[in-house]
Amino acid sequence: MVAVTPETGQDRALADAFEAAVAADERVEPRDWMPEEYRASLVRQMAQHAHSEIIGMQPEANWITRAPSLRRKAILMAKVQDEAGHGLYLYSAAETLGTSRDELLDKLHAGRQKYSSIFNYPTLTWADVGAIGWLVDGAAITNQVPLCRTSYGPYARAMVRICKEESFHQRQGYELLLALSQGTEAQHAMAQDAVDRWWWPSLMMFGPPDDESAHSAQSMAWRIKRHSNDELRQRFVDIAVPQAETLGLTLPDPDIKWNEERGHYDFGAIDWAEFWDVLKGNGPCNEQRLSQRRRAHEEGAWVREAAAAHAEKQAQAHVQHEEARV
Amino acid sequence: MVLAQRLGEWAGHAPVLEEEVALANIALDLLGQARVLLSLAGDEDELAFLREEREFRNLQLVEQANGDFAHTIARQLYFSVYQQLLYGELAAGDGPFAPLAAKAVKETAYHRDHAEQWTLRLGDGTDESRRRVQAGLAALWKFTGEMFRPVEGLDLDAEAMAALEARWLAAVTAVVEKAGLTLPEGPRTGAWTAGAGRQGLHTEPFGRMLAEMQHLHRSHPGASW
């Protein structure tokens, strides 16, 4: 029998209390004790989520200057602005775990932390903006609504705010596609082409199948995740199929069929080779997305330095002023 | 609208996330103001997407390319101080633009504060930031006179315009000096810049900006979006 030292005995008690609290659906807060793996797992997931918001600005921002009406331009600008805001919430939430935005951004820029694989696909036409709203935001919401009840408090609270805005964006994307689908022949074709290109990448947003998902089991045990990748993917397909019918657009999968027995839609096989390839950095826009992000950061360095230098001078002036009064 | 378009180009390229939010926010306010104004004159999309370059009446100042962040801030400083003073006067009056101006004056107060704060930070930041913001102020100086020139077809009170110009100059001078910068020298109007944008005479970057902005709309005549 291995002797239990007082220290490990104490850790065990803390770990037991943590497990019990999580199992009882209590929220974990920044000052609470938590296992190091839980902390690391959350930092990884929240950073990836934050990075996805800011990299995700690029494919849509690509169309801001070309939006075909002023109303659509305003909607798109507001959406991209919201995404920057989501990035801000999520970096702040991640900072409660003892990391910093600068550190996380450095890791993103160095390619050491990931962002959602979906943003490595290009926005080739205006309809892609609608397909992103409907499918990509739709998939994101399916993933994120359960995160409003995730075990880590700051993350859960950030998600409540984010989900409200995301569902608004999704409705706008759907409405954009509907306008195109019911518009001229050329507009309808543009909408169909966009859906054809974004459907499969959207299904890949839920991550690898359950039996190949490295972090799933632990994340679910800790209630960081509440549902498995495949469960959420199925939920998304079940919602999207009837929406596509209402839109008057088809989905590029001949195997989609209602399965009475399961009470779900069956669907075709995902090209996992493509998924892993994009994840490894070989997607159509990986290089472009990361280099734009790095460039914005590098070209903005002098601005951040100026702001810091000014703040420092202000602080010194304040100290001198205080000293003069004494 | 033209300035909103320019600020929209910053999306995804700003130096910090907070500025992604701020620049998009300002662009959205300006676009909102433009939509109200254009709707008063006709169909907003027809006016935005189907006019030729020579039919646009915007100031040359707002069509200038973004340049670096300091250049953008200099453009914002010149324009937002002007806009806030102008909307303040329109809001106080009882003309047709008073209701629009009452809303816009609050937005432009925020834009002005943003531009002033950044002028201070850059002017009183590092040597490089001071050099860059000074260069931005200098490059755009010659476009500032147009804001106060008579506009063909509009019956503007010359005395009120001169008063507005004096207030603008005083406000900009105060910020520039507080930031440890110097007010650019040289004329604020030239043969080409004096009221030229108001007559549909623009600078070269403007045509390219419009080409990008209007391309999709013009490719689908009569379509609705």
Q: What is the pLDDT of residues A13-30, one digit of tens each?
A: 999 999 999 999 999 999
Q: Do B24 and A81 touch (CB under 8 A)?
A: yes
CA torsion sign for A55, A59, A60, A66 is positive
Residue A2: pLDDT over 60: no
Mutate to test the interface with A, among B10, B46, B121 (most CBs of A within 10 A): B121
Q: What average pLDDT does this structure show over B136-144?
A: 96
Q: What average pLDDT does this structure show over B68-82?
A: 98
- Nearest CA to B77 among B160, B150, B177? B177
Q: What average pLDDT does this structure show over B137-165?
A: 89
% chain B with pLDDT above 90: 86
Q: What average pLDDT does this structure show over B129-143?
A: 97
pLDDT at A325: 81
Rounded to an integer, what distance in angstroms lies between the CA atom of residue A219 and that of residue A132? 27
**Cα B132–A61–A119 angle (5° rounding)?**
120
CA trace torsion A157, A160, A166, A168 (10° rounding): -140
| Contact between A130 and A93 (Cβ < 8 Å) | no
- Per-residue pLDDT band for A4 (boundaries 50, 70, 90) equals very low
- Nearest CA to B118 among A91, A310, A121, A70? A310
CB burial of residue B189 (10 Å; 0-12, 13-18, 19+): middle
Q: Do A70 and B68 touch (CB under 8 A)?
A: no
Q: What average pLDDT does this structure show over B135-155?
A: 90
% chain B with pLDDT above 70: 100
pLDDT in tens, A110-156: 999 999 999 999 999 999 999 999 999 999 999 999 999 999 999 99
Does residue A148 sit at the B interface (CB-CB below 8 Å)? no
pLDDT in tens, A211-254: 888 788 888 889 988 899 999 999 999 999 999 999 999 999 99
Q: Which of B11, B16, B45 sits opposite A64 (nearest CB)?
A: B11
ipTM above 0.85, yes or no: yes
What Cα–Cα distance (Å) separates residue B92 from each residue in A69, B95, B97, B106, B162? 32, 9, 10, 13, 18
- Nearest CA to A115 among A104, A126, A123, A125? A104
Mutate to test the interface with A, among B17, B133, B218 (most CBs of A within 10 A): B17
Which A residues, 244 through 303, put their C-beta within 8 Å of a C-beta on chain B? 292, 295-297, 299-303
Q: What average pLDDT does this structure show over B142-149?
A: 94
DSSP run (H or E) holding B115: helix B98-123
Residue A6: pLDDT over 70: no
Amino acid at B13: H
Residue numbers in B near A57 (CB within 8 A): 11-12, 20
Interface A–B counts its CB contacts (< 8 A) at 147
Count of Cβ atoms closer than 10 Å to residue A8 Cβ: 12
pLDDT higher for A325 or A98?
Answer: A98
Which A residues, 50 through 79, put their C-beta within 8 Å of a C-beta on chain B? 54, 57-58, 61, 64-74, 77-78
Q: Do B5 and A65 touch (CB under 8 A)?
A: yes
Q: What average pLDDT does this structure show over A47-74?
A: 97
Residue numbers in A near B42 (CB within 8 A): none
Residue B138: pLDDT over 60: yes
- Per-residue pLDDT band for B153 (boundaries 50, 70, 90) equals confident
Rounded to an integer, what distance in angstroms lies between the CA atom of residue A274 and that of residue B3? 41
Phi/psi zone of residue A84: left (φ > 0), alpha (ψ -120 to 50 degrees), beta? alpha
pLDDT at A3: 43
Task: Kindly state the tokens that stand for B143.
Answer: 């476009």
Q: Do A306 and B129 touch (CB under 8 A)?
A: yes
DSSP run (H or E) holding B38: helix B17-41
Q: Is residue B136 classed as helix, strand or coil in its secondary structure?
A: helix
CA distance A54 to chain B (A): 8
Rounded to an integer, what distance in angstroms lies between the CA atom of residue B98 and that of residue B106? 13
Interstrand relation of A264-266 and A257-259 (parallel, antiparallel or unpaired): antiparallel
Q: Which of B12, B70, B217 sits opposite A292 (nearest CB)?
A: B12
CA distance B105 to chain A (A): 20
- Nearest CA to A130 among A88, A182, A81? A182
Residue numbers in A near B21 (CB within 8 A): 81, 84-85, 88
CB burial of residue B128 (10 Å; 0-12, 13-18, 19+): middle
* Region of poorest pLDDT, from A5-14, A266-275, A309-318: A5-14
Rounded to an integer, what distance in angstroms lies between the CA atom of residue B195 and that of residue A64? 29
DSSP letter for each residue of A18-53? HHHHHHTTPPB-TTS---HHHHHHHHHHHHHHHHHH
| Contact between A52 and A119 (Cβ < 8 Å) | yes
Q: Do A65 and B14 touch (CB under 8 A)?
A: no
Give every CB contact of residue A190 below 8 A, 6+ residues apart in sequence: A125, A126, A127, A180
- How does A211-233 read in b/e, with b if 16+ C-beta sit within 10 Å? eebeebeebeebbbbbbbbbebb
Q: Do B224 and A65 touch (CB under 8 A)?
A: no
pLDDT in tens, B205-217: 999 999 999 999 9
